[in-house]
Amino acid sequence: MKQTILLGALLVALIGLVALPWFAPYFYIFIVTEILIMGLFAASFNLVFGYTGMLSFGHAAFFGVGCYATAMTLLHLKWPFLYCLVLSVGAGALLALVIGFFSVRLNEVYFAMLTLAFGMMVFSVAHHWRSVTNGSDGIAGFTLGDFGLGLDLTLGNPAVYYHVVLVFVVVAAAVLYLIGRSSFGMILQAIRQNPERVAFCGLNVRSYRLAAFTLGGAFAGLAGGLMAPFLRVASPEMLHWSTSAEPVLMSILGGTGYFLGPFVGSAMFILLETWITSITQAWMLFLGIVLALMVMFFRRGLLGTFLDWWLERK
Amino acid sequence: MSEPILSIQDLTKHFGGNAAVSGITLDVQPRETLAIIGPNGAGKTTFYNMVSGRMTPTRGKVLLDGRDITGLPPHRISRLGVSRSFQINNIFTEMTVRENVEVALAALHHHSRRWFNLASRDTVLQEEAQALLDRLSIGGLAERRAGVISYGDKRLLEIAVVLATRPRLVLLDEPTAGMTPDETRRVTGLVKSLADSGDYTFLITEHDMEVVFSLADRILVMHRGEALVVGTPEEVRRHPEVRRAYLGEEDEEQQEAGA
């Protein structure tokens, strides 16, 4: 019964998202586009954190490298958008494989610090390697051409681009969700709860952690690729450690225990930011208050707290 | 005498200047049950940690079926057929009881590499897990969350997870510690029937002398990291040094068992 209600609610939300451009002002099309992309970024992080139990502080590296990959191929090679995104996924995965190779052998705070250190290195490269990355100005001035696959889409139209983002995010989220529900996903959750017992069951915990980290990097790369045309720029800020904090905050706001938690967190984060900055410049103060309240009283996040309560109820 | 399944040669572990385990040499025969007794701090758990790959010995060798496994990581040693339980419950508390066993079975059958199946529809693993839980008389708890079942049931669940890896050599670390007399009888009966099945070789550390004498084919007495005596229960019982160093302190040991 409750399963059916949840599925129904999800379906209604999806229909609402598809129909959004027909009833919402342009401003909210931009906002929801950003929520979707950042939600995917946060969900890719949550595979690493919420599922596997590794608190990464360098996840922006994969998001940023995905963004640069799409921006640079659009600028220099003028590839169809779809191929740019495939490249972004590959770039995110490859960078995560390299950083993960060194990081996943460490635990807890050491893992967090090492991912942070790698993230800062990647930021620094993008910031200082002017001849390739254009330094702090970033990669701009690229235009979207074809989508690819012979599809005739006017990607420059924000409503069309919104729908493209929606399709990519929904499909990517479905894939991530199914991975989480697979036997492999079960092992990842077992590793979060008790890595030692998993090792004594005969599995190389390090390889599974690396696989999760690389997958997280691939999906973060996709989110970055989708972000480039939206922002019309790939800048070093996207690689900054403060950007790595965003999926952490979003996951905690929405809740790490349910798959859609990071998406809900992304919506909370971006809507609060939008509404509060229109009233006062001190939005970080309010975010801090909300975050502190969540961590002190609703540790399972907004979605997690609600679903826990609702599913327990008779 | 047949080839030993486990051969320990001069096994030694130093922590700083202290020898936690010192020069243990021992052969374990297939299908025997060897109990390891000794006061807390005698080095029993450190000994287990070296055999199971959790710690690398300072000196000495561990041979499994004549093959040197010294210093291999735990997952490799597990794959070779050695599994262990821990003194403190070591299960997946947020999963259901049956999922705990499914994790071990997924590892065993390499389902753990499947990225695109639905674990909740993996009936092969579920049935095998259920059968194992039934055998350990906790089948009725299969759908409960592992973190909320009773202490004794958690210990049984850990044994189920240990057995799910299909080990030939099973290391149990104080399996009855903290259990009620009734639960202790259940575990003792279980280990006895498993040992009688002839599929397993058991090493058991235990403080409860009644359990030790009812299960063990041989007993290793450890004292301050060294092997004091190895012998049949009767030999150990009669050994004057053992009586003085250990058996006389039995009650005290039981009180410390939970530590």
Query: How is chain A classified by DSSP, letter by letter?
Result: -HHHHHHHHHHHHHHHHHHHHHHS-HHHHHHHHHHHHHHHHHHHHHIIIIIT----S-THHHHHHHHHHHHHIIIII---HHHHHHHHHHHHHHHHHHHHHHHTTS-HHHHHHHHHHHHHHHHHHHHH-HHHH-GGG-EE-------STT----TTSHHHHHHHHHHHHHHHHHHHHHHHHSHHHHHHHHHHH-HHHHHHTT--HHHHHHHHHHHHHHHHHHHHHHHHHHHTEE-GGGGSHHHHHHHHHHHHHH-SSSTTHHHHHHHHHHHHHHHHHTT-S-HHHHHHHHHHHHHHH-TTHHHHHHHHHHHH--
Of B92, B107, B164, Cβ closest to residue A194: B92
CB atoms within 10 A of CB A85: 25
pLDDT at B168 over 50: yes
pLDDT of residue B259: 40
Mean pLDDT for the stretch of residues B245-254: 53
Quick check: B58 and B23 in contact, CB under 8 A?
no
Mean pLDDT for the stretch of residues B23-49: 92
Q: Using CB atoms within 10 Å of the CB of residue B237, give its burial: 0 to 12 exposed, 13 to 18 middle, 19+ buried.
A: middle
pLDDT at B251 over 50: no
Q: What are phi and psi of A284, to 5 degrees?
A: -65, -30
> With helix as H, strand as E and coil as C, how does A117-129 read?
HHHHHHHHHHHHC
| DSSP conformation class of A2 | H
Structure tokens at A144: 């979207």
Q: Does domain B1-81+168-259 have CATH number 3.40.50.300?
A: yes
Q: Using CA atoms, how far apart are residues A308 and A251, in angstroms rounded to an integer?
A: 16
pLDDT at A308 over 70: yes
pLDDT of residue A181: 95
Mean pLDDT for the stretch of residues A301-312: 91
pLDDT of residue B243: 77
A220 residue type, one letter: A
| DSSP conformation class of B247 | G
Distance from CA of B3 to the nearest CA of A (A): 25
Quick check: A239 and A37 in contact, CB under 8 A?
no
pLDDT range class, residue B246, cuts 50, 70, 90: low
pLDDT range class, residue A160, cuts 50, 70, 90: very high
Name the segment(s) of chain B with CATH classification 3.40.50.300. Answer: 1-81+168-259
Q: Using CA atoms, how far apart are residues B4 and B200, in angstroms rounded to an integer?
A: 13
Which residues contact residue B96 at a Cβ distance below 8 angstroms, ignoring those fewer than 6 apart? B142, B143, B144, B145, B146
Mean pLDDT for the stretch of residues A287-312: 91
Taking contacts as CB-CB distances below 8 angstroms, the residues of chain B near A204 are 73, 75
pLDDT range class, residue B248, cuts 50, 70, 90: low
Of B75, B91, B125, Cβ closest to residue A194: B91
CB atoms within 10 A of CB A138: 21
Q: Of A310-314, B13-17, B231-235, where does mean pLDDT reach its minimum?
A: A310-314
Inter-chain touch A202–B118, beta carbons under 8 Å? no
pLDDT range class, residue B39, cuts 50, 70, 90: confident
Q: Which residue has the tokens 């807390």?
A: B40
Tens-digit pLDDT profile for residues B99-131: 999 999 999 999 999 988 889 889 999 999 999
pLDDT of residue A151: 80
* Coil, helix or strand at residue A292: helix
pLDDT range class, residue B247, cuts 50, 70, 90: low
pLDDT at A91 over 60: yes
Domains of chain A, each with CATH number or no CATH: 2-17+29-312 (1.10.3470)
Of A181, A194, A200, Cβ closest to residue B120: A181
Question: Comparing C-alpha atoms, which of B208, B178, B172 is closest to residue B190?
Answer: B172
Taking contacts as CB-CB distances below 8 angstroms, the residues of chain A near B87 are none
Taking contacts as CB-CB distances below 8 angstroms, the residues of chain B near A50 are none
Q: What are phi and psi of B25, to 5 degrees?
A: -125, 130
Taking contacts as CB-CB distances below 8 angstroms, the residues of chain A near B74 are 196, 199-200
Long-range contacts of B145-150 (CB under 8 A, 24+ apart): B145/B93, B145/B94, B145/B95, B145/B96, B145/B97, B146/B91, B146/B92, B146/B93, B146/B94, B146/B95, B146/B96, B146/B97, B146/B99, B146/B100, B147/B93, B147/B94, B149/B97
What separation in angstroms does the CA of A100 have from each of A64, A129, A203, B76, B140? 16, 23, 18, 22, 41
Percent of chain A with pLDDT over 90: 80
pLDDT at B178 over 80: yes
Tens-digit pLDDT profile for residues A179-224: 999 999 999 999 999 999 999 999 999 999 999 999 999 999 999 9
Q: Give all strands (DSSP E) within B125-198, no chain letters.
A: 169-173
Tell me the whole-structure pTM to 2 decimals: 0.91
What size, in residues, is chain B? 259
Distance from CA of A71 to the nearest CA of B (A): 31
Quick check: B8 and B60 in contact, CB under 8 A?
yes
Q: Using CA atoms, how far apart are residues B117 and B70, in angstroms rounded to an integer?
A: 37
CA-based radius of gyration for chain A: 19
Quick check: A64 and A119 in contact, CB under 8 A?
no
> Rounded to 5 degrees, what angle do the CA atoms B82, A208, B69 make?
30
Write out the H or E segment, with its range, that includes residue A214.
helix A205-231
pLDDT range class, residue B94, cuts 50, 70, 90: very high
Which of the residues A52, A105, A175, A182 would you substitute to probe the B interface, choosing the one with the greatest number of B C-beta atoms within 10 Å?
A182
Tens-digit pLDDT profile for residues A141-155: 888 888 888 788 888
